[in-house]
Structure 1
C-alpha cells in the first residue's frame, strides 16, 4: 500500500468509481451545480525550497532531504491541511526528516539541534488535525521532523500483570498483531488507529472508541520513558501511586513540547469473547439525550455509546428519524453481556426510544460504523470538489449541554450562512461520562475553491468562541496544536501556565521542541 502524501490513508483506498459517484450525487443535493475535481499536484511541481541545514556526518544517514519526505511531513490530516496540499501551498516544510533507530540516535539529534537552535518536531503517524506537527514558526527557523516509526516494536509482554513494554513508534495494527497471540489487547482504537502510533496517542491524550470507563490513552499507561534535551526520565512501573504529582501526567498531552516519548508500559486486557449491540431510535432529541445520560449514569458502562442526532443519522447512517439514534454495545472477556444490553434498551424505552426485539436488517448502527471508517477518505474526495467537510469536538457537563449545544450549533449555522450561504451541522456523542458527554460536530457546506481555507477558518473561529463562552473544552481528544492555542490559553489556569512554562525551561532550555504548541514561541516571548 502507498501512503498518500497529501491526504488521508492509502492511495489505493481513495474514494473512486461507484462510491465517488454516489458521494457526489449526495453532495449536489447540498450544493447544486458542477463540482469540479482538483487533482493533487505532483511532488515535483511543488517547488519546495532547498534545505537550509545539513546534518553532521555522524547523523547524516538518519536524515532525509527528499522532497517527497519533506512534503509528506509538512502538514497533518485536517481539512485545512488537505486543502493546502491540494493547492500546492506548502509554505512551511521541515528542512530534514530524521528517523532515529534508538534512543542514542535521538539524544544525538537533540544535542545537535539544541546547539544550532534548530526546531524539532516529534512525529508519529502524522494524523494531527490541529497543526501539531507543522513547522509553522513566526521566525521561520530551520526545522527537523523526528519521525519515530523506526522505533516501533513491542519489546516485552508481562502476561501475569497484563502489560506490555512498547516503543512509541509502533502503529496500531502492528501493536494489536503482536498482542493477539497472547490473547491480549490494548483495546484503544481511535479513528486514526491504522495510521497513528502509540507515541502520538500518548503525546496528544488520544481518545479511543471505548465510550465509557477507559476512554483516553491516559487510563492505560503504567509507566513511560521520555527523552528530553535536559535528560532521560523513566517512571516506575506501578498499578497506582500516591507519591506526589504523577511524572507521567506531565508528559501525557504535552504534544512533544517537553520531551519525546520513546516507550511505555501499557495496561492490557483479555480479548473480548462476548458481544451484544443495539440501536434505539427516538422521535425527540431531548428524550434521546436524557436516555443517553441515564445509560451513562446507570453503571452499565457500555463499550460503545454514541448518540447520533437526526442530521448525523441521515447523512452518515442513511436513517430518517425525528430525534436521533442511540447506538450502543457491550463486550466482555469474562461473561455474557446480553443482560446488560437488555437493561440499557429498557432504560431507553422508558424515555420513549424504539428498539427492535431482535436483529434487524439495515441496522443504522452497522451502517454508521461502515461509514465511520470511510469518513476521512470521503472528506478528501469532497475537499477536492470544493466542499467544506470538517469536524470539531468538545466535552461539557450534562447540566450545561443544552446551552452549549444551542450556542455551538447556532454559531456554526450563522457562520455557514455568512461564508457559504447554506449547509448542514450534525452532532454525535463520541464518549459519555456519568457527569457529561463529548459532543462531536460535523459541518457540510458548499465552498469556493479559492476561498475554502478562509471559509472554514471563519466557521472554526465562530464555534471555538461559542465553546469557550459556554463551558466546553476546546478539545476533548483532538489535542491543542497550533490551531487551538488561542482558546487553550484562555482555558488553562494562570498558575498552571506558569508552571508549564517553568517545566519547559527546565526540560528544554533551548526551547527547540515543537515551538508554538501549548506555549508561546520562546523566540517571540523572550524565554529563550
Structure 2
C-alpha cells in the first residue's frame, strides 16, 4: 500500500549547540532566575554561542564529482553535526570548544548513496559517523582522536519515507531517517501508530532508536524499540543485508540483534519493518502521593508484578516531584497511566490505585475513562488531540518532562553542572543502589566543586524483576572547568553502578562516554565476537570509531 503524504508545514529552526528548537530556549532573564536557585552559579549567563566564532578548518578531503551533490562543507551544517546534546556537549559549545568538527556532511537519499559514500570513505581513510537527529547524550555522534584523515557525518534524515504499510499485519517498512513526528504523521491516516515515544521524540529518528536500543514511553512490557522490530536492512562496507520479515523465529542467533544497539559501528541501518498498533482511544491517569520513598518502591514493585501493565508508571522522589511541580510538600509521587485501543481502562487504573493505597499511598479520585482523555505520556503533547488532565500532578509532571532539557541548557549558561544518567538493576539491589548513588555522587560533586549538590531520582521503567532508576544531578560549577567536573561526577556514579551490578545504561546507549564502564560490564567472549564482527563488516574501521570498540 502506498504511504500517506508528508505533513504540511515548515519546520522550526533547530539549535545547533543545545537541545531542541532554537526559539524555545530560556532567555537571559529566565537563565538568571534559574541560576538563583542554585547557589554559586555565575552572575550572568554565558552568551549564546555563534557558529561565526568557531575556528572551522577547511575540509581535509574533497568528495569525487559523483558524490558531490550529496555532500556539503557548509560551516553551519558541520558545526551542527559535531556533537550530540549531552551536558558536556552543550557546555563545550558555550565555551567555544566543540571538539573535532566533521570535514563534510552527507545527506544520502537511498541505499546506493550510502553504499557509495562508505566505499569512498573506506578507500580514503575517512571516518563515517552515522547521524540521525543528533540527540545523543553519550558522545555517540562525534569523532574523538586523530586516527583518520578526515571525518564525514552521514546524516540520514533525507531518507524519511514510509515505504509500505501492511494494514492486515499492522506493520510498516520505514526508512531510518524518519524523525518521530514525521513517522507518526504518515501513519496517522491509517489509524495506526508505532507508539514509541522517547523524550527526544521530536528530535530523533527511527534509525537512531534502533541503533541505540532506545527506550520509549511504555513503563512496562514494551519498554524498548526492540519490541517493535520485525526486520532490518543494513548497509555495511562489506555489503548490504536484509533480515526476513517474520513474526518470530528460532533460526539461530537473531541477525537483527547484531545491529540493534550497534550504534553505527557495524553498519548503517537504512530501513526497517516495524510492528504497529491501533491508536489508543481509551486512557486514564492519576497520581499517588507517598510519605515514604521505600514504601512507594514496594508499591511500584507490586504493580509491576501484576498483569495490569500500565503504560506509565513513573515514581518521582521528593526532589524530582518538587522539580516537576508534581508535589511541594516533600511527598514521593507515583504517576500512573493506562491506555487501550479496544476497551476502557478505568478498572485497571482502579486496581493499581488499590495496590498503591495498600502500601500507604494517598490518591485523588481518578479522572473519567473516555475517548482520548487525559494524556498519559509526555509525547502525547505532539501526537494526540489536546485534552485537559484531570490530575494536576500528572499535568505538571508532563509539562516539566518536556521542558526539562531546555532548562538544563539554561542552567548550563549559568555555569551549573546539570545532567542525568540512568541504569537498571534487580529489585533486591534497587534500594541500596539508589541510596548509594545519592550519597556518593553528591559527595563527589561537592568535592569537585566545593558546592552542595542536588541528586534526585525517578523510576522511568519497571519490570517484574527490577526497575530503571534515572538520576538528575545539579551543582554549581567552576568557570571553564565544567567538563572535567562532570567527568569526575560521572566516574563516581559509574563506580557505584558497577559495584551494585547495575547496567551502565538502560536506554541512553554506550557511545564514547560509557565505554570504560561498558568494557567492564560485557563478558570477554562476547567482546571477542564483537571485535571479529567489526573487522569482518568494517575492514577499514571507518564506522563510528571508538563506539563500542577501540
Fold shared, TM-score > 0.5 on shorter chain:
yes
Mapped pair 1:400 → 2:429: yes
Q: Distance in 1 between matches of 2:391 and 2:448?
A: 37
- Which contiguous aligned blocks of 4+ residues in structure 1 show a shift greater than 6 angstroms? none
2:411 pairs with one of 382, 395, 405: 382
Counterparts of 1:405-444 in structure 2 under 5 Å? Answer: 405-420=434-449, 421-444=451-474
TM normalised by structure 1 equals 0.96
Tell me how far 1:32 sits from its aligned partner.
Answer: 5.4
- Deviation per residue, 1:333-361 (Å, 9 max, x gap): 00100000000000000000000124597
Contact kept, 8 Å, 1:51 with 1:95, in 2: the verdict is yes
Structure 1 window deviating more from structure 2 (357-366 vs 305-314): it is 357-366
C-alpha contact (below 8 Å) 2:60/2:149 kept by paired residues: no
Once the 2 structures are TM-superposed, how far is the Cα of residue 141 of structure 1 from its aligned partner?
A: 3.5
Distance in structure 1 (CA, Å) of the matches to 2:129 and 2:115: 14
Match of 2:137 in 1: 129
Shift of 1:449: 2.3
1:260-309 CA distance string (max 9 Å, x none): 00000000000001001110000001100000000111110000000000
| Deviation, structure 1 residue 45 | 1.4
Deviation string 1:9-42 (CA, Å, 9 cap, x unpaired) is 111122238xx53x64354132157531111232
1:139 aligned residue: 147
Q: 1:361 to 1:229 in 2, by over 3 A?
A: closer
Preserved CA contact (<8 Å) 2:42 2:415: no
Matched, 1:5 2:13: no
Instruction: State the TM-score, normalizing by the size of structure 2.
Output: 0.92
- Mind listing any 5+ residue stretches in structure 2 that lack a counterpart? 1-11, 368-388
Give the whole-Å Cα distance in 2 for the aligned partners of 1:410 and 1:48: 42
CA distance in structure 1 between the aligned counterparts of 2:119 and 2:264, rounded to whole angstroms: 16
Q: What is residue 523 of structure 1 aligned with on the other side?
A: none
Conserved 8 A contact 2:319-2:330: no
Q: How does 1:35-434 map to 2 (within 5 A)?
A: 35-139=43-147, 141-317=149-325, 319-359=327-367, 363-420=392-449, 421-434=451-464
Of 82-91 and 297-306, the range deviating more from structure 2: 82-91
Cα displacement string for residues 377-420 of structure 1 (whole angstroms, at most 9, x for unaligned residues) = 11111101111110000000001111211221122111111122
For 1:280 and 1:232, how far apart are their aligned partners in 2? 50
DSSP 3-state at the match of 2:432: helix
Q: Provide the secondary structure at the position in 2 that maps to 1:232.
A: strand
1:132, distance to aligned residue in structure 2 (A): 0.6
1:486 and 2:516 correspond: yes
* C-alpha displacement of 1:241: 0.2
Aligned residues: 517
In structure 2, C-alpha distance between the alignment counterparts of 1:315 and 1:49, rounded to whole Å: 42
3-state SS, counterpart of residue 30 of structure 1 = coil
Ranges in structure 1 where 5+ consecutive residues have no aligned partner: 521-528
Matches within 5 A, 1:443-454: 443-454=473-484
Is residue 503 from structure 1 mapped to residue 511 from structure 2 by the alignment? no
- Compute the RMSD of aligned alpha carbons: 1.4
Partner-residue secondary structure (3-state), 1:461 = helix
- The answer to whether the 8 A contact 1:258-1:507 is kept is yes
